[in-house]
Homo-oligomer: A and B are copies of this chain.
Amino acid sequence: MWQSSAAAGRLLLCSGRSWLQLRGYSSTVISGKTVEDGVLSSFRSICGEDGVSLGQAVREQHGKDESVHRCCPPDVVVFPRCVEEVSALARVCHSHRLPIIPFGTGTGLEGGVGAVKGGVCFSLRKMDAVLDLHPEDFDVTVEPGVTRKALNAYLRDTGLWFPVDPGADASLCGMAATSASGTNAVRYGTMRENVLNLEVVLADGSVLHTAGKGRRPRFPLRLINLIVKNSRPAFSFRKTAAGYNLTNLLVGSEGTLGIITKTTLRLYGVPEATASAVCSFPSVQAAVDSTVQVLQAGVPIARIEFLDDVMIDACNRFSSLNYPVTPTLFLEFHGSERSLEEQVSTTEEITQSNGGADFQWARDAETRSRLWKARHDAWYASLALRPGCKAYATDVCVPLSRLPQIIVETKEDLIENRLTGPIAGHVGDGNFHCVMVVNPDDPDELHRVHLFTQRLARRALAMDGTCTGEHGVGLGKRSLLCEEMGDPAMRAMQSVKEALDPLNLMNPGKVLQPGGPGDAQQLFLHLD
C-alpha cells in the first residue's frame, strides 16, 4: 500500500547522478548507481550483508506500485528485521540527509513508493510477526510485513477477523499509512476507525507510540473462550482524551511523517450468519437510490457495491457469468440469524420498490466466494476489455445524497468523450471508481482521460466531496488536494510536515509539494 511515481526519479534518471553524489559524498559506482561507501557499511553493520541491496532488479521492484506511475527506483533497498534496526538505519539516513521511503507490499495506487528524490527504500517485509493478540479485548498488534490475508489466516481459529479489505493483499501497516479502506467500510469503517495505536520511527530515528506504550502481557491463544454471536464489538473500544491524536495524524500520512513499525488494530467477531445477494436495476438512479434508502433505513449492511452496465458486462465476460447487463448491486449482510432476516427483508422491500429484479441469493460459502471473486476481479475484467491497455482508477467520494447525480453525470461524460471507464463503487460510502482503460500510445486519448479525471474530481468537490476516498494523494492528486483543502489548510499540513520531518527526508515529494498545473497530466504522459 505504499506507492510509486510520475515526476519520478527525474533527479536521478535525468541527471544520471544520485542524490548522494549530488551532495558530494565520496562514492563507488554499484549497480549503475553512485552510493557512498561509508553509508553502505553502516547499513550493513545494522542489518547484515543480506539486509542491504543495490541490485537493479531489487531496486526497480521497490520503485513502483500497482499504479500507472513510472518506476522510480531508490539508490538502495534495506531490509530491517526489527524496530531497533529501523531506528538505527533512520539515524544514518538522517545524519547523511538521505531520503527514506517506507515500503510494504508495493500495492498502492497513487505512486506513493517512487523514490522521486532517490534515497533509501526501507522494505519492511522481514518484520512479519503477529504480536500481542488480545482476543478478550478484540485487538491485535502486527509488524509491517503482515498482510491483511495473513492476519485473517492467523486469526482463523479465534472467532475473530479484521474486515478492512482493499483489493490487494496489502500490509496492514501500509494500509494504516495510506488510510486504506475497501468493500466492508460501510459497516466496519476504514483504517481511520480501526487503528488503535501505532509504533512509529521518525526521520531522526526516534521511536514513539501514538497512543501510549502497550504494556499488557500477551494472552496465549488457548485462553480464548468468546461468545461471539454478532460481528460488532463496542464502538469506542480504546477511548482516550490524552493529548493530540497522533494516531490519526499518522494514519493516511503516506510515509511522509514517519515509518510505521507496529499497528494495533481493532478486531471483530466473525458473524454468526452471512448472506450475499446480487440485484439488477433498470437504471443507475434506481440502484443508487436503493443504496441511499437502505442506509437511511438503518440496515447495518456489511457490503453494498455498485457495478454499472459496462462493468457487469466486463465481469460477465471475464468470470464467465451471466448477470443481466444493467446497473447492479452486490450486497452482503452480517449478523445473527434473526437480525439477518430483518436486514434482508427491509432491503428486498426497498430494492423492489425501486424496480430491482433478479435478486439472487448466496448463503453457502462457496457461492458467496464466487460472487465476491467476480467483484474483486473487476480491475482485471476492465483491463480485458481492451487488451494491451493500461488502467487508472479514479477515487472520488461524495455525500450519499449526491451519489445518483454524480454517477449519472459521470457516465454521460464518459460517453461524450469516447472513454472506456467501467464503474465500480463502494456506494454505501459515497465512494466510486471509474477504471479508466487507456491506450498508453494514444496521446489524444491520454489527454482526454486527464481532462475527464480533473472534471470528475471537481464535480465531487463541488458536491462537498473529496478527490480521494481511499487511494490517497501520493503523486497523482497533489494539486487536487490543494483545490480541495484551500491554502490555509495546506499551509497547516505543510507546517505539521516540517514539525515532524524538518529535513524533508520522509518520502519526499508525496502528498504535499504539488508539481503545479502539469502535475496530474504527467500521470498519463508517463505510462510505461
Interface size bucket, A side? 35 or more
| A237-264, CB < 8 A from B | 237-246, 248-249, 251-253, 257
Nearest Cβ distance between residue A425 and chain B, in whole angstroms?
11
| A210-258, CB < 8 A from B | 210-216, 226-246, 248-249, 251-253, 257
Contact of A230 among B190, B233, B251, B299 (CB under 8 A): B299
Contacting pair B511 A298 (CB below 8 A):
no
Quick one: given A187-B235, A243-B481, A296-B233, are A495 and B488 in contact (CB under 8 Å)?
Answer: no
A252, A395, A402, A461 — most chain B CB neighbours (10 Å): A252
Asked if A82 lies at the interface with its beta carbon under 8 angstroms from chain B, I say no
Contacting pair B232 A298 (CB below 8 A):
yes
Nearest to A298 among chain B residues (CB) is B230
Asked if A430 lies at the interface with its beta carbon under 8 angstroms from chain B, I say yes
Contacting pair B236 A185 (CB below 8 A):
yes
Q: How far is the CA of A273 from the CA of B500 in the complex (A)?
A: 48
Asked if A321 lies at the interface with its beta carbon under 8 angstroms from chain B, I say no
Contacting pair B489 A210 (CB below 8 A):
yes
Asked if A431 lies at the interface with its beta carbon under 8 angstroms from chain B, I say yes
Copies of this protein, total: 2
Q: How far is the CA of A137 from the CA of B296 in the complex (A)?
A: 9
- Residues of chain B within 8 A of A428, CB atoms compared: 234
Q: How far is the CA of A401 from the CA of B225 in the complex (A)?
A: 13
Nearest Cβ distance between residue A237 and chain B, in whole angstroms?
7
Asked if A92 lies at the interface with its beta carbon under 8 angstroms from chain B, I say no
Contacting pair A243 B485 (CB below 8 A):
yes
Asked if A491 lies at the interface with its beta carbon under 8 angstroms from chain B, I say yes
Contacting pair A429 B236 (CB below 8 A):
yes
Contact bitstring A394-436, B, C-beta under 8 A = 1, else 0: 0101011110000000000000000000000010111100000
Nearest to A494 among chain B residues (CB) is B499
Asked if A202 lies at the interface with its beta carbon under 8 angstroms from chain B, I say yes
Contact of A296 among B136, B192, B246, B400 (CB under 8 A): B136
Nearest to A300 among chain B residues (CB) is B232
A179, A293, A511 — most chain B CB neighbours (10 Å): A179
Asked if A207 lies at the interface with its beta carbon under 8 angstroms from chain B, I say yes
Q: How far is the CA of A178 from the CA of B244 in the complex (A)?
A: 10
Quick one: given A134-B399, A229-B346, are A239 and B336 in contact (CB under 8 Å)?
Answer: no
Contacting pair A464 B245 (CB below 8 A):
no
Asked if A265 lies at the interface with its beta carbon under 8 angstroms from chain B, I say no
Q: Which 3 A-B pairs have the closest CB atoms?
A: A230-B298, A499-B499, A208-B488
9 inter-chain pairs at a CB distance below 8 angstroms, sorted by A residue, are A136-B292, A185-B239, A186-B236, A215-B463, A234-B295, A242-B467, A243-B490, A245-B245, A338-B342
